[in-house]
Amino acid sequence: MIKKRVKILISAFTAAVIAAGTVAALVSADEPYVAYDYDWWAETYPVQNGYIVDRVVTGADLKIADGLKNPSDLFVYDKTGEIYIADTGNSRLVICDSDFQNVREMKTFRYGEDFRLDEQKIGNYTSLNKPQGVFVTEDRNGETLIYIADHDNERVLACYADGDVWMEYTRPASNLYDQNVTFNPKKVIVDNAGNVYICIKSITRGAVVFSENGSFNGYYGANRVEKTFNTMLNYFLKFILTREQMEQRTRPVPVEFSNFAIDDDNFIYTVTEAKSADLDVLKKLDPAGRNVFAKQGYDDMIWGDFNSPYVHGKSYKSSIVGVAVDKKGDIFLLDATSGKIFQYSYEGELMFIFGGIGEQKGLFKTPNAIETYNDKVYILDGVKNSITVYKLTEFGMLVNEAMGLFNRGLYAESREPWEEILRRDANYYMAYIGMGNALLSLGEFKESLDYFHMHSRGGYNRAFKDFRIDFIRKNFNNFLAAILIVVVVLTVLSKFLKRRKRKKAKLAAAR
Amino acid sequence: MVYDINLPAWKWPFYIIRHPIEGYEDLRWKKGYNMKVALVIVLLFFLTAVAESQMTGFIFNRLQTKYFFVVPYVSSTIVLFFTWVVANWSLCTLFNGEGTMRNICCVSAYALVPYLFSVVINTVASNVLLQTEEGFLSFISVVGIGWSFALMVSGMKAVHQYSVPKTLIAMFFTLAAMVVIVFLAVLLVVLFQQVFVFFYTIYTEILYRVS
**3-class SS of residue A494:** helix
When mean pLDDT is compared across A15-24, A297-306, A479-488, B154-163, the lowest value belongs to: A15-24
Q: Distances in Å between the alpha carbon of B139 and those of A109, A235, A301, B46, B118?
A: 71, 33, 29, 22, 10
Q: Per-residue confidence at A16, pLDDT binned at 50, 70, 90?
A: low
- Other beta carbons within 10 angstroms of residue A12's beta carbon come to 10
Task: Kindly report, residue by residue over B185-194, the tens digit of the pLDDT.
Answer: 999 999 999 9
Q: Give the pLDDT mean for A313-341.
A: 92
Backbone angles phi, psi at B202, to 5 degrees: -60, -45
Q: Which residues contact B27 (CB under 8 A, 6 or more apart)?
A: B12, B15, B16, B33, B107, B110, B158
Strands (E), A161-232: 164-170, 185-190, 196-200, 207-210, 216-220
C-alpha atoms less than 13 angstroms from C-alpha of A78 in its C-beta half-sphere: 11
Residues in A closer than 8 angstroms to B65, CB to CB, are 41
Report which residue type is found at A31. E
Residues in B closer than 8 angstroms to A45, CB to CB, are none
Chain B residue set in contact with A, beta carbons under 8 Å: 58-59, 65-66, 128, 130-131
Cβ distance A106 to A95 under 8 Å? yes
Residue among A226, A293, A279, A217 at smallest CA distance from A253: A226
Task: Kindly report, residue by residue over A260-287, the tens digit of the pLDDT.
Answer: 999 999 999 999 998 888 888 999 999 8
**Tens place of pLDDT for every residue, chain B, 211 residues?**
455 678 888 999 999 999 999 999 999 988 889 999 999 999 999 999 999 999 999 999 988 888 899 999 999 999 999 999 999 999 999 999 999 999 999 999 999 999 999 999 999 999 999 999 999 999 999 999 999 999 999 999 999 999 999 999 999 999 999 999 999 999 999 999 999 999 999 999 999 998 7
Average of per-residue pLDDT values in chain A? 89
Task: Give me Rg for the CA atoms of chain B.
Answer: 22
| Angle CA A156–A160–A163, to nearest 5 | 85
- Quote the pLDDT of residue A120: 87
How many angstroms separate the CA atoms of B196 and A93, rounded? 70
Q: What is the chain B residue with the closest CA to A457?
A: B59
Report which residue type is found at B117. F
Q: Per-residue pLDDT for A28 more than 50?
A: no
- Quote the pLDDT of residue A26: 45
Residues in B closer than 8 angstroms to A452, CB to CB, are 58
- Quote the pLDDT of residue A25: 47
In chain A, where are the structural domains located? 36-394+401-407, 415-474, 478-511
In B20-100, alpha helices (H): 23-30, 35-55, 71-74, 80-94
Is CATH 2.120.10.30 the right assignment for the domain spanning A36-394+401-407?
yes
Facing residue for B58 by CB, picked from A41, A460, A468: A460
Facing residue for B130 by CB, picked from A41, A454, A464: A464
How many angstroms separate the CA atoms of B198 and B205, rounded? 11
Report the share of chain A in percent with pLDDT over 90: 60
Nearest CA to CA, how far is A435 from chain B (Å)?
18
The residue length of chain A stands at 511
Q: Which helix (H) or strand (E) holds A370?
A: strand A367-373
- Quote the pLDDT of residue A11: 62
Residue among A407, A439, A402 at smallest CA distance from A424: A402
Which DSSP category does A302 fall into?
P
How many angstroms separate the CA atoms of A260 and A341, rounded? 15
Facing residue for A465 by CB, picked from B58, B65, B130: B130
In chain B, where are the structural domains located? 9-185
Residues in A closer than 8 angstroms to B66, CB to CB, are 41, 43
Q: Are strands A207-210 and A196-200 parallel, antiparallel or unpaired?
A: antiparallel
Cβ distance B76 to B53 under 8 Å? no
How many angstroms separate the CA atoms of A445 and A466, rounded? 7
Facing residue for A461 by CB, picked from B65, B66, B131: B131
Cβ distance A156 to A168 under 8 Å? yes
Which DSSP category does A300 fall into?
P
Q: Per-residue pLDDT for A3 more than 70?
A: no
Report which residue type is found at B126. S
Q: Which residues contact A163 (CB under 8 A, 6 or more apart)?
A: A106, A108, A109, A110
Give the alpha-carbon dihedral of A398, A404, A407, A409, to 10 degrees.
Answer: -90
When mean pLDDT is compared across A14-18, A57-61, A114-118, A394-398, the lowest value belongs to: A14-18
C-alpha atoms less than 13 angstroms from C-alpha of A260 in its C-beta half-sphere: 33
Q: Distances in Å between the alpha carbon of B52 and those of A351, B58, B120?
A: 33, 11, 8
Residues in B closer than 8 angstroms to A464, CB to CB, are 59, 130
Residue among A233, A161, A238, A147 at smallest CA distance from A197: A147
The residue length of chain B stands at 211
Whether residue B130 and residue A460 make contact (CB cut-off 8 A), yes or no, is no
pTM for this predicted structure: 0.83
- Other beta carbons within 10 angstroms of residue B83's beta carbon come to 18
Give the alpha-carbon dihedral of A25, A27, A31, A34, to 10 degrees.
Answer: -100
Residue among B172, B177, B175, B162 at smallest CA distance from B96: B162
Nearest CA to CA, how far is A361 from chain B (Å)?
37
Facing residue for A468 by CB, picked from B58, B65, B128: B128
Cβ distance A393 to A51 under 8 Å? yes
Backbone angles phi, psi at B75, to 5 degrees: -70, -30
Whether residue A453 and residue B66 make contact (CB cut-off 8 A), yes or no, is no
**3-class SS of residue A6:** helix
Q: Which residues contact A118 (CB under 8 A, 6 or more apart)?
A: A111
Residue among A219, A277, A225 at smallest CA distance from A253: A225
- Quote the pLDDT of residue A19: 56
